[in-house]
Amino acid sequence: QSVLTQPPSVSGAPGQRVTISCTGSSSNIGAGFDVHWYQQLPGTAPKLLIYGNSNRPSGVPDRFSGSKSGTSASLAISGLQAEDEADYYCQSYDSSLSGYVFGTGTKVTVL
């Protein structure tokens, strides 16, 4: 089972700002391990959206931003667009499991 907890779904109107939380523990996010975020459009493979807590790969719009504090991390999408409808996953490393862990995933719906 996932050790990183995300809300199952979030929604917003076009142009609005939404945030997705990723809650971990002292063995993963709280231990200082980086958090990465992936976007999975319907029927496609996940794509890296944010790496190292807050860095955007080239080509990712600056509407997407990431942050981390304590045992949690967040992904914010500002100026929500219809093309942002997708599933979003956080990912980190867990020292207790000695391996990588994914969040439970969040479905973003644009109203």
Partner 1 sequence: QVQLQESGPGLVKPSETLSLTCTVSGGSISSYYWSWIRQPPGKGLEWIGYIYYSGSTNYNPSLKSRVTISVDTSKNQFSLKLNSVTAADTAVYYCAKKTQALDPWGQGTLVTVSS
Interface positions with partner 1 (CB under 8 A): 2, 34, 36, 38, 44-48, 51-52, 57, 89, 91, 97-105
CB closer to partner 1, 26 vs 96: 96
CB closer to partner 1, 18 vs 49: 49
Q: Please state whether 47 falls in left (phi above 0), alpha (psi between -120 and 50) or beta.
A: beta
Q: How far is the CB of 82 from partner 1 (least distance, A)?
A: 23
Q: How far is the CB of 48 from partner 1 (least distance, A)?
A: 4
Residue 29 contacts residue 4 (beta carbons within 8 Å): yes
Angle at 108 between CA 6 and CA 7, to 5 degrees: 20
Q: How far is the CB of 9 from partner 1 (least distance, A)?
A: 13
Alpha-carbon dihedral sign for residues 21, 25, 31, 37: negative
